[in-house]
């Protein structure tokens, strides 16, 4: 099955929620853990146990593991493997973007099943030009993996690039974010039930004139503790809402270290989103 097919099936079976497993130092301390590799491992694997069996998508943020060096990356490998074993899709949040052989190396690291870090999909930055992602796109196709491209994020610095206007080749202009969505629309054309090439679009972006129906999956970070609501998800994405996985991290992880409390919060949020 393509990633788009697996994504659509997972959301249908488990609900749309994406659970972020981001071991912030402050969260480790809130759990009574030290900010070291032992604390990281206890935190991350407990979160996997509480969340991965109950959500469609698990999204570990690679940076919070990388900061501990090779031992932290070893924990990330376990998070990926154990989340997938629990039936969740793993979207590895790495936001990589480079050119040529370096992009290919990133693709091999995160999308090739031969790699211990291989995930179902990754996040990627297209702002060296969308064509710079071609090695990732080709590798994703080869291995039935997915790619979520940064399109319209909700950080305050984003509009400097994403709202800038560029010529569309026909004498008019469009925003850079709109151009990214056009590229995704082309990649996903004709795919059923959904293409495998998605976008990252913030759940707190406010009003946007862009058309988010590009036949691909959408990751909507910022749901929950960062202010995004179910009403925001409906308002922003409209007819494309069935392809959206809203991501929540702190809202879930602050229920820990209780496995049951994290599970119950994930189930509650999923029911709220399904409604």
pLDDT digit string (tens) for the chain, length 275 residues: 999 999 999 999 999 999 999 999 999 999 999 999 999 999 999 999 999 999 999 999 999 999 999 999 999 999 999 999 999 999 999 999 999 999 999 999 999 999 999 999 999 999 999 999 999 999 999 999 999 999 999 888 988 888 888 876 666 678 999 999 999 999 999 999 999 999 999 998 877 888 899 999 999 998 877 778 899 999 999 999 999 999 999 999 999 999 999 999 999 999 999 98
36 phi, psi to nearest 5 deg: -140, 180
- Rounded distance between C-alpha atoms, residue 99 and residue 139, angstroms: 14
Catalogue the active-site residues.
95
3-state secondary structure of 234: helix
Which residue, among 9, 122, 114, has the nearest Cα to 62 in the 3D structure?
A: 122
| β-bridge pairing 165-167 and 173-175 | antiparallel
- Rounded distance between C-alpha atoms, residue 218 and residue 220, angstroms: 6
Burial 60-71 (b: 16+ CB within 10 A, else e): bbbebbeebeee
- Rounded distance between C-alpha atoms, residue 203 and residue 234, angstroms: 10
Number of C-beta neighbours around residue 261 at 10 A: 14
Q: Which H helix or E strand runs over 150?
A: strand 146-152
* Contact indicator for 111, 78 with CB cutoff of 8 Å: no
Partners of 223 in beta bridges:
228
Find the radius of gyration of the CA atoms of the chain. Answer: 18
Q: Which H helix or E strand runs over 191?
A: none
| Residue reference for tokens 């990754």 | 122
């Amino acid at each position: 099955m393509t990633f788009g097919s697996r994504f659509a099936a997972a959301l249908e079976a488990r609900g749309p929620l994406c659970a972020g497993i981001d071991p912030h130092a402050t969260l480790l301390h809130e759990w009574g853990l030290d900010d070291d590799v032992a604390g990281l491992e206890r935190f991350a694997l407990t979160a996997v146990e509480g969340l991965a069996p109950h959500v469609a998508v698990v999204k570990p943020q690679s940076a919070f593991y990388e900061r501990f060096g090779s031992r932290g990356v070893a924990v990330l490998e376990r998070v990926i493997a154990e989340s997938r074993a629990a039936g969740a899709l793993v979207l590895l949040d790495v936001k990589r973007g480079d050119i040529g052989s370096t992009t290919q190396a990133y693709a091999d690291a995160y999308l090739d099943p031969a790699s211990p870090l291989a995930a179902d999909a990754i996040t990627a930055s297209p702002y060296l030009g969308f064509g710079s992602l071609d090695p990732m796109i080709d590798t994703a196709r080869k291995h039935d993996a997915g790619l979520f491209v940064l399109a319209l994020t909700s950080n305050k610095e984003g509009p400097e690039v994403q709202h800038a206007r560029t010529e569309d080749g026909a004498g008019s202009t469009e925003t850079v974010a709109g151009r990214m969505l056009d590229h995704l629309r082309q990649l996903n054309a004709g795919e059923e039930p959904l293409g495998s090439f998605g976008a990252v679009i913030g759940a707190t972006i406010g009003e946007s004139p862009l058309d988010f129906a590009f036949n691909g999956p959408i990751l909507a970070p910022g749901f929950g503790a960062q202010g995004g609501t179910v009403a925001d998800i409906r308002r922003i994405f409209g007819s494309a809402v069935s392809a959206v996985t809203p991501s929540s991290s702190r809202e879930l992880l602050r229920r820990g270290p209780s496995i049951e409390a994290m599970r119950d919060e994930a189930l509650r949020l999923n029911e709220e989103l399904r409604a």
